Structure 1
C-alpha cells in the first residue's frame, strides 16, 4: 500500500536524522513514530490509513524538514572548519619538509657568497674601465628560497638603511658605496654571509669582509650595498639564521587544536528552542491513545508548524 510505503520512507529519514543529532527526545520521537506506523500496518484492514498519512503530513514531515535545515547548516559550518584545519595541516607538512633543508641552507649560502662576491667584483671591474657583465637575478635565488623561513625578524629597520649622504657608485640596477667597494677590492672580494633580516616587511642581508672588521648590508629592495656603520653594530643580532618553523609549528598546532574543539562543539550543539519543541512534540505523540483507533492530530499541530518558523541562524 502506497501510504504504508511512504510511511516507511519517512521513518528511514527520521532514523538517519535521529542518528546524526543523537538527541534523547528525538530518539523517543523516532521510536513512537515507528510504533504508530506498526499499529496501522498491523491493523490496516480496520483503520483508516489516511489518518497515518495526515499524521505524517502535519507532524513527521515538518520535523524532517526542520532537522534537514539544521543538519545542512551544521554540516556547512563543519565543512568550513575542516577546510581550515586541512589548510593548517598542509602547511605543517610543508614545514616538516623544510626542516630537512637545514643542511641545504648551509650549503646554499656558500654558493650565495660566491655569487655576491662575483657581482661586486664585476661591478668594480666595470667602474675601473674593464667591463664585466653581472646578473642581479642570480643572487636573488638564495633569499627567494630561504628568506621567509630563515631570515630573522627585526622590528627596527632604521639601522639597516643607508645613511643619508653616503657616497655611492650607481650602475645599472644597483648602487654600491664607494668606500665599501674600495675595501672589498683590498680583500680580493672575499666575504662571508652572516645572516638575513626581515624588518618592516623588507629584506636585508648582512655580510662580513674577510680579513677585516667591516660589515656591509645588501638592501634587497633597492639593490643597494653599503657599509654597516659602527654606531649600529651593537643593535644587530648576528647569530646565524635558523629555520623558524619550530615557532610556526607550535602556533599552527595550537590553531588546529582550537579548530578541532570548535568542530566538536558545533557537531554536538543543538539549539535550545528546538530542544524545547522536540520535548513538546514528544509529549504530544506519546499522549495519543492508539486504542482509540484514531490519532489526535489537530490538538498540537501548531507546535510542529512553529518549528519551520525558527531562525536557525541564531
Structure 2
C-alpha cells in the first residue's frame, strides 16, 4: 500500500503541474481504487500492484517525460524573466524621484517669472534672469521630455509680441496671463530634433501656451492642435523601460502557464482512452474478485467527477 501511495503522490504532483482535467480525473479515480484496497483488508493487494504496473506506472512515465520537456522549454523563458527583473531593479534604483515635486514647484516659479516680466515691461526695465526658469529643462529634459511628437504642432506662425531681452512673448498671451494673475501650470515637456518645448495651461482656463526654449518665444496654442498632442504627464525614460519590461514579464509568465497546460493531441487521446479503461467492467473485474465490489466501484467511477 505504501508503494501505491507513492504512485498517487507522483500522479497528484503531475496533475497539479499540468492542471489538465483528464489527468485530475484519472488521479481521482486511481485514488478511489487505492482507498478501496486500503479500507478492505480482504482484497488481494497484488491485484492493486498489477493495476499500477499496467496503468499508473506507464502514465506517470509518459507525463514525467512531457513535464521534463516543458520544464526545459520554460527554462529559457524563466532566464529571460530573471534578467528582466534584474534590469527593472537596477533602473528603479536610479530613477529620479524628485521630478514630480519639482514639476509642481516649477509651475509656481514660472508664474512668478511671468509676473516679473509683465512688471518690467510696464516699467520699461529688464531685470529678469532667465536662468531662474531654464534650470528645469536643463535638469530634466533629456530624462523626461517626450520625443514622439509632430514638431509642427508645437510651432507657431508670426505673432504680435513684446520683446524682452532676447525673448518674445505674444501680446495676446500676456493679456490672458494678466487676467488670471499669471498663474500657470506646467503640463509637460517635449524634446524633438534637438529643440525643447514646454507646454503650460493658464489657471482656470482651457488656454495653453508653448515656451519654445531654443526659439526663445512664448505663444498661445491652437486648440485644434492641442487635440493632436499627447499632453499626458512626462515620465522617466527609465520608467518607460521599466513598464515595458514588467509588461513583457507578465506576458511571458502568462504564455508559460498556458504552454505548460497544452498537451499534444495524441497524448490527449491516450488520456481519454485511459479514462475509458478505468471505467471498463472487464478491467475492474480483473482487479476485484467480488462482483458486488466491482459494481460499487463502477458506479463510483461513472460519477461525473468534472462537475460539482
Q: TM-score scaled to structure 2, two decimals?
A: 0.47
Bigger relative contact order (CA 8 A; separation at least 6): 1
